[in-house]
């Protein structure tokens, strides 16, 4: 029996999401999440997808990531999917920031872990949680390959002209200030799946990927290689997001500090947690915004229009960056589900070769699908993202190479 299972862990500051996949047939064996780690009201939701087991929910305090992963291990074991199984080939860890050092999936040893730790200043909210997840998983199955898959890696191919800010070069170098990009596993997966949908090899197509979730980013992918993306040093730059501002004049920060008397930490929280759709209208869920806008709510309408305006600007910009565009593809929570956002984002872009089939756009489906008119020069598609499958695929390819 060859080991073909991969456990994918996505450790956040107070949560762990996990999936156990069998790469022999790319099937999911179990999925789940632990949330509110460190609080009294922690919750574990575990769902076995084989063997007819039931979805289970456990509540009660889970003190830390160690306790969380031990609880997950116990749930998996109860379904006969324990971490001690000889069928488990590797554990894959989503790591948010790989800096310029990590441009591909990497087997984690002490030196790699130290390097991931050295990148904490670039991702102070994310990398520490990722590191904790790695440490705990190593303590549970130190004999297994533990592999880090970086959110930044897919964007490491950006040319310097796209990756650099026009800052004093020595200062930028000293503080590692450049554009790294995020959501890389999603952009990689979706751009490849879009090529497949068009019946082409990834090398043959130029794609604009619009990953519109609670966080949102766009990327320009030429022949399977990322040449630009909208997030930068951190996941704050670019599109309007659920709670993040996206692009703004950096002088807004000086103004808020000098005139408003806000501290750096207050401005950080304002731009990351209280801006975007939430800041504009008080809601960050696109479903709620569409509902309110439909009832004539002016601030929800403005939030929607601001969101769409920014999206259009990036579609235009990346059409220029790519020169020839074969497909524009929507993915993630908003991109996969909000037909109104897709319609508004593409509306008026016939000069760029984009035209929607409104009937196809209105269909809800979990399948990758085309929503452009038959005669449009550029295909428009909806392709559900699958970051866990992409992480497992990259991990399995590495450990079986």
Among residues 22 and 386, whose Cβ is nearest to ligand AMP? 386
Q: In the complex, what is the shortest distance from the CB of residue 362 to ligand AMP, in angstroms, rounded to a whole number?
A: 12
Q: How far apart are CA 26 and CA 156, in angstroms?
A: 27
DSSP letters spanning 337-379: H-HHHHHHHHTT-GGGT--B-HHHHH---SS-EE-B-TT-SSE
In the complex with ligand AMP, the residue whose CB is nearer, 43 or 101, is 43
Give the CB-nearest residue to ligand AMP. 333
By beta-carbon proximity to ligand AMP, the closer residue of 285 and 343 is 285
Give the C-alpha separation, 60 to 42, whole Å: 5
The residue among 99 and 384 lying less far from ligand AMP, judged by its C-beta, is 384
Q: Counting runs of H as helices and runs of E as strands, what totals does the chain give? A: 15, 14
Q: Please provide residue 64's backbone torsions phi and psi, each rounded to the nearest 5 degrees.
A: -155, 180
Which of 22, 151, 228, 386 is catalytic? The answer is: 151
Q: In terms of CB distance, is 307 or 318 closer to ligand AMP?
A: 307
- Minimum CB distance to ligand AMP, residue 147 (Å): 24
Is the torsion defined by CA of 60, 65, 68, 74 positive or negative? negative
The minimum distance between CB 365 and ligand AMP, in angstroms, equals 12
Q: State how far the Cα of 329 lies from the Cα of 312, in Å rounded to an integer.
A: 13
Residues with Cβ within 8 Å of 260's Cβ and at least 6 positions away in sequence, in order, are: none
Helices (H), 250-331: 251-258, 264-273, 276-281, 286-294, 298-322
228 near 156, Cβ under 8 Å?
Answer: no
Q: Is 134 helix (H, G, I), strand (E, B) or coil?
A: helix
**Least separation in angstroms between CB 361 and ligand AMP:** 13
Taking the least distance from each CB to ligand AMP, the nearer of 119 and 389 is: 389
Return phi, psi of residue 36, to 5°.
55, 40
Rounded-to-integer distance, Cα 31 and Cα 391, Å: 14
Q: Residue 58 class from Cβ within 10 Å (0-12 exposed, 13-18 middle, 19+ buried)? A: middle
CA R_g for the chain: 21
Judge whether 17 and 30 are in contact, CB under 8 Å.
no
225: CB partners within 8 A, 6+ apart: 157
Distance in angstroms (rounded) separating the CA atoms of residues 378 and 109: 45
Q: In angstroms, what is the minimal distance from the CB of 286 to ligand AMP?
A: 4
Q: Among 325, 322, 342, which Cα is nearest to 383's?
A: 342
- Residue 171 host element (H or E): helix 169-174
**Shortest Cβ distance from residue 189 to ligand AMP (Å)?**
13
Q: Which is nearer to ligand AMP, 213 or 238 (CB)?
A: 213
**Closest distance between ligand AMP and the C-beta of residue 368, in Å?**
16
> Is residue 268 annotated as a catalytic residue, yes or no?
no
Q: C-beta of 108: minimal distance to ligand AMP in Å? A: 26
Binding-site ranges for ligand AMP (CB under 6 A): 213-214, 242, 285-287, 332-334, 337-338
Looking at beta carbons only, is 99 or 276 nearer to ligand AMP?
A: 276
- The residues assigned a catalytic role are 151
């Amino acid at each position: 029996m060859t080991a073909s299972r991969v456990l994918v862990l996505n450790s956040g500051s107070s949560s762990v999401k996990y999936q156990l996949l069998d790469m022999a047939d790319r099937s999911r064996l179990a999925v789940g999440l632990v949330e509110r780690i460190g609080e009294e009201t922690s919750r574990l939701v575990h769902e076995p997808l084989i063997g007819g087991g039931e979805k289970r929910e456990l509540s009660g305090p889970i003190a830390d990531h160690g306790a969380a992963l031990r609880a997950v291990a116990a749930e998996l074991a109860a379904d006969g999917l324990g971490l001690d199984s000889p069928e488990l080939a590797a554990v894959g860890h989503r790591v948010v920031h790989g800096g310029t050092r990590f441009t591909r999936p990497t087997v984690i040893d002490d030196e790699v872990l130290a390097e991931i730790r050295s990148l904490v200043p670039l991702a102070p909210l994310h990398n520490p949680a990722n590191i904790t997840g790695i440490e705990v998983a190593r303590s549970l199955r130190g004999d297994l390959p533990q592999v880090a898959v970086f959110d930044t890696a897919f964007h490491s191919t950006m040319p310097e002209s796209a990756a650099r800010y026009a800052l004093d070069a020595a200062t930028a170098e000293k503080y590692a200030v450049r554009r790294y990009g995020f959501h890389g596993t999603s952009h990689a997966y979706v751009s490849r799946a879009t090529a497949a949908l068009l019946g082409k090899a990834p090398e043959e197509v130029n794609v604009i990927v619009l990953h519109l979730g609670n966080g949102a980013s766009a990327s320009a992918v030429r022949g399977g290689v990322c040449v630009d993306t909208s997030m930068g040093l951190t996941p704050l730059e670019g599109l309007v997001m659920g709670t993040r501002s996206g692009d703004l004049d950096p002088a807004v920060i000086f103004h808020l500090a000098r005139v408003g008397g806000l501290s750096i930490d207050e401005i950080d929280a304002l731009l990351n947690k209280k801006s975007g759709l939430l800041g504009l209208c008080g809601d960050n869920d696109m479903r709620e915004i569409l509902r309110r806008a439909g009832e004539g709510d002016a601030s929800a309408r403005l939030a929607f229009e601001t969101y769409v305006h920014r999206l259009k600007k990036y579609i235009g910009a990346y059409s220029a960056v790519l020169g020839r565009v074969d497909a524009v593809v929507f993915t993630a929570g908003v991109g996969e589900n909000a037909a109104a956002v897709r319609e508004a984002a593409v509306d008026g872009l016939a000069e760029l070769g984009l035209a929607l089939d409104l009937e196809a756009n209105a269909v809800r489906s979990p399948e990758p699908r085309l929503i452009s008119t038959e005669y449009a020069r550029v295909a428009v598609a909806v392709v559900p993202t699958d970051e866990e499958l992409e992480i497992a695929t990259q991990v399995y390819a590495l450990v079986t190479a």
